Amino acid sequence: MSTEHNPIAQLVTKIQQKWNEDVVPNDAIKLARWLIKPEQARLYEGFLRLESTANGSIPDMTIVLLTSFTDKNTHSKNLCKDWIANFKKEKDAIAQESNFTWEVEEFEEKLETENSDLVLLEMIKSFQKALPEKDRIVTLCLFPYEIEDVKEYAKWLHNMLKLELPEYGRFMIFDFAKERHFDRLYKVHEDIAKTLAVSLDLQGAMAKLASMGDPNDPEIQFRTCLMNMSKQVEKKNLTGVQQWGNKGLEVTQRSGQKSTYATAHTIYAGMLFGFKEYEQIDNLLIKGLAIAKQGLQMGEDTCKPIIIQSYGFMASSKQMQKKKEKAAKLFCKQADTAKEYGFSEMALNAWWLAASVIKKKDKTHYNAIIEEAYKHGATLDKEKLKATAMPFLASDYYSLLEKRSKYKACKEVDTLMKEIEGEKWREGIIAKQKEMSKNNIPILNWF
C-alpha cells in the first residue's frame, strides 16, 4: 500500500507540514508544543519514529527521547544517559552511512561530576557542531512514556529555558489539548515558545484504511466489522455490537486461519466488557483460547500473543465479577505463558495485576507472586524494564524483604532500581501508588 494513498500516512504528512510551516521559518523558537488528544499519541509517536529515519521530511535533526520523568533533579541526567546509550547502539551504522562521528565518552564522565542540566545543553551544542550542515537545528523530541508529576516536569522545562538552549537547539514537547498543562509555562516564555495543533480525523482515517483492498477478502471484511463494532460501543448499542461481532466470527472462520478466528473472539469479548455481559464474554474467551491453541499446534506462531491476551481478558472478566482468587490465578497463568513464549515484559505486567488483585485477599499468595516476578525481572535487560511494572514489583518486594529483616537483599534491590529509575526511585513509586489507590487505577500512565 503506497504512502500516498494511506490515510494514516496522510495524517502524518499534515503533522509534518504544520511543523515546516510554523516552526522551521522561525529559528527563535526554543520550545514547540503539540496539542494532542490521548488517542492520537501513537500517531505522533509514529511521526517521531519516521523523522528519526532518512524518510523524515522536516529539516531539523530530530533526537527522539522516550525517557520517563521522575523528578526535575534527575531528568536531565536520565535524558543524557538514554541519548548516549541510543547513540552508542547506532554509532557504527551512522558512521558507515554518513561519516558522522561524535565523541560521547567525555559526557559520560561529566555526568558524574558536573551539573546534568548544563551537560545536556552542552551535548546539544556538541552534537550540532558535529553535523555536516553547520546551521541545521537539533530538536530534542521529548515524548516521555510516563510523567510522575506534570507540574515538576513544567518546572524542569522552565529551568532549562532559563539556562538558555544553544543557538541551534530546541525542544519539542507534547500536551493534552483539553488539559493544556503547560499554558502557564508558555506565557512566561511566549517570545521563544510556539503551540501547534492540527485537526486530525484519526477515526475516519482508520475507517478508510480498514475498507481498503479486496472487499471479498475476509481480513478486509473483518476490519469493517471491527470498525462497526466500535461505533456501536460508542452508541452503547449492545444489539449492534452483537450483530457485528457475530458477523466478524463468520468471516474470520471462513479465512481458514486459526489466529484470525481466535482474534475475532477476543476482540468481540473485549467490546462486551462495557455492557457487563460476562457470561457471553467468558464463553467467547474460552472458545478463542481453544482455537488459538489449535492454531499454535498447527504451526501458527502468531497465536502465542493471542493466547497470552486471552488469559488476561479471562482474568479481567473474573476480576470485574469480584472473583478475585480466579482472577489472580488467571493473571498468573498469563504471566507464566508469556514467560514461556519469550514475552517477559508482558509477564511482569501480568504478575503485577495478579498481585494487585489478591493483595488484600491472600497475603501469602501475594508475597509469592511479588517474589517470583521480581526475581524474573532482575534477569532482564534494564532498558526494557522501564516500560514495565518492574518498579512497582521492586518496591513491594523491597517492603517484603524489609519486614523479613533481609537488609542485604534490600540493598541489592535498591542498587538495581537506582540504575533503572534513579536515586529516588522508591519515593516516586510510593507516591504513585498512593495516587493510584486514590483514583482506583492499576497503573497511572501519561499516555
How does pLDDT run along the chain (447 residues), one tens digit per residue?
344 558 888 899 999 999 999 999 999 999 999 999 988 888 999 999 899 887 889 999 999 999 989 889 999 999 999 999 989 888 777 766 667 889 899 999 999 999 999 999 999 999 999 998 989 999 999 999 888 899 999 999 999 999 999 999 999 999 999 999 999 999 999 999 999 999 987 777 666 665 565 566 777 788 889 888 988 998 999 999 999 999 999 999 998 899 999 999 999 999 999 999 999 999 999 999 999 999 999 999 999 999 999 999 999 999 999 999 999 999 999 999 999 999 999 999 999 999 999 999 999 999 999 999 999 999 999 888 888 999 999 999 999 999 999 999 999 999 999 988 888 899 888 877 776 665 444 333 333
pTM: 0.62
Query: What would you report as the CA-atom Rg of the chain, rounded to the nearest whole angstrom?
Result: 24
Residue type, 234: E
d(CA 93, CA 260): 37
Q: Give yes or no for a contact between 162 and 131, defined as CB atoms under 8 angstroms apart.
A: no
- Residue 205: closest CA among 409, 14, 434, 438: 14
Residue ranges of domains in the chain, CATH in brackets: 3-201 (3.40.50), 213-322 (1.25.40), 344-447 (no CATH)
What is the structure's pLDDT at 176? Answer: 94
Pairing mode of beta strands 169-176, 193-196: unpaired
| 423 alpha carbon, distance to own chain's centre | 23
Q: 61 forms bridges with which residues in the sheet?
A: 138
What is the structure's pLDDT at 444? Answer: 30
Q: 196 forms bridges with which residues in the sheet?
A: 34
What is the structure's pLDDT at 443? Answer: 33
What is the structure's pLDDT at 136? Answer: 95
d(CA 371, CA 151): 34
d(CA 288, CA 230): 20
Residue type, 292: A
Q: Give yes or no for a contact between 157 and 182, defined as CB atoms under 8 angstroms apart.
A: yes
What is the structure's pLDDT at 438? Answer: 54
